[in-house]
């Protein structure tokens, strides 16, 4: 049971979107802007919430945010560049004559798949309850199940993170820092994020290829074209292999948690012969 219910006579719906980086977005369905909690919830046209649905079971509730890009602080570039990827969203009801932020919480969610068509967008929201549907437990795989830099891995990411500036740009996904001197493949499957330039604050990109001359290629192109002089931070990668990565690259084989010697199905299903 909810502890507080908004008065049905003056009830209206509001939404607060909190990106991983950047400023929050405040929206309301009411015909006028509403000020609450020190924030102004915008009533600008050009967006709408689809019907909210929920059940008594553990199936996650769903809601979509649809609208026209460029209105209410949700622009085409922000959506396409990934600013709202995995952002948290808080839908609640309140009374328009005496609005109170989060007066009647409806659902807390995160933003998922985004569809852009011309100037229109549609963003799927999935309830945080969806975390209960994720599979947990140890899986026997030849690769290490740890993530580079987590508490189980033991490698300090700040200690191996490097910084630099671009000296050449080929495209939105291929660039070069001639000052780099690390061996080829050092940063492959690592991450790169810009700390200056148009891509500052956008989500990091996974490195696809790194050459000894400082050439860097990422899997997903940056939304804004990088330019010479842009500063970045880059973390070496780990393909989770026991010998090549954990032992030879990081001298950390003691923390390797994979099953590199487990026989494959083609091996254990063989029939012995004379």
Q: Encode pLDDT of 219-272 as tens digits.
A: 999 989 999 999 999 999 999 999 999 999 999 999 998 888 877 777 777 776
Model confidence at 127, pLDDT cuts 50, 70, 90, reads: confident
Position with higher pLDDT, 169 vs 132? 169
Model confidence at 76, pLDDT cuts 50, 70, 90, reads: confident
Residue 220 token pair: 């997903």
pLDDT in tens, 166-198: 999 999 999 999 999 999 999 999 999 999 999
Whole-number Cα distances in Å, 244 to 71, 76, 158, 260:
50, 42, 22, 12
Domains of the chain, earliest start first? 8-130 (2.30.110), 157-255 (2.40.30)
pLDDT the model gives residue 57: 57
pLDDT the model gives residue 59: 60
CB atoms within 10 A of CB 5: 11
This prediction has a pTM of 0.68
Please tell me the distance from the alpha carbon of residue 182 to that of residue 101, in angstroms, as a whole number: 51
pLDDT the model gives residue 47: 59
Please tell me the distance from the alpha carbon of residue 86 to that of residue 112, in angstroms, as a whole number: 6
Model confidence at 8, pLDDT cuts 50, 70, 90, reads: confident
pLDDT the model gives residue 85: 82
Mean pLDDT of the chain: 84
The residue-averaged pLDDT of 118-127 equals: 75
C-alpha Rg value of the chain to the nearest Å: 24
Residue 14 has pLDDT above 70, yes or no: yes
Residue 141 has pLDDT above 70, yes or no: yes
pLDDT the model gives residue 255: 92
Position with higher pLDDT, 140 vs 207? 207
The residue-averaged pLDDT of 97-120 equals: 83
pLDDT the model gives residue 45: 59
Residue 46 has pLDDT above 70, yes or no: no
The residue-averaged pLDDT of 139-145 equals: 84
- Exposure string (b/e) for 247-257, b if CB count within 10 Å is 16 or more? eebbebeeebe
């Amino acid at each position: 049971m909810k502890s507080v219910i908004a008065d049905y006579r003056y009830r209206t719906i509001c939404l607060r979107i909190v990106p991983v980086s950047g400023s929050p977005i405040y929206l309301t369905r009411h015909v006028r802007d509403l000020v609450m909690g020190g924030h102004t919830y915008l009533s600008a046209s050009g967006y709408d919430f689809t019907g909210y649905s929920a059940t008594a079971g553990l199936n996650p509730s769903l809601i979509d945010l649809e609208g026209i890009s460029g209105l209410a602080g949700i622009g085409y570039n922000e959506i396409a560049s990934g600013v709202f990827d995995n952002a948290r969203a808080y839908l609640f009801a309140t009374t328009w004559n005496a609005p109170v932020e989060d007066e009647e919480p409806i659902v807390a969610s995160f933003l998922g798949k985004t569809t852009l068509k011309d100037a229109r967008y549609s963003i799927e929201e999935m309830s945080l309850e969806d975390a209960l549907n994720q599979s947990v437990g140890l899986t026997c795989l030849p690769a290490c199940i740890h993530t580079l830099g987590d508490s189980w891995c033991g490698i300090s990411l700040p200690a191996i993170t490097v910084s630099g500036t671009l000296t050449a740009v080929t495209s939105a996904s291929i660039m070069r820092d001639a000052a780099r001197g690390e061996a080829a493949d050092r940063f492959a499957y690592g991450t790169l994020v810009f700390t200056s330039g148009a891509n500052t604050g956008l989500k990091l990109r996974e490195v696809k290829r790194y050459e000894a001359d400082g050439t860097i290629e990422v899997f997903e192109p940056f939304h804004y074209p990088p330019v010479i002089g842009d500063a970045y931070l880059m973390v070496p990668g780990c393909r989770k292999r026991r010998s090549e990565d954990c032992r030879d690259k990081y001298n950390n084989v003691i923390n390797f948690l994979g099953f590199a010697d487990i026989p494959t199905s083609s091996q254990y299903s063989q029939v012995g012969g004379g």
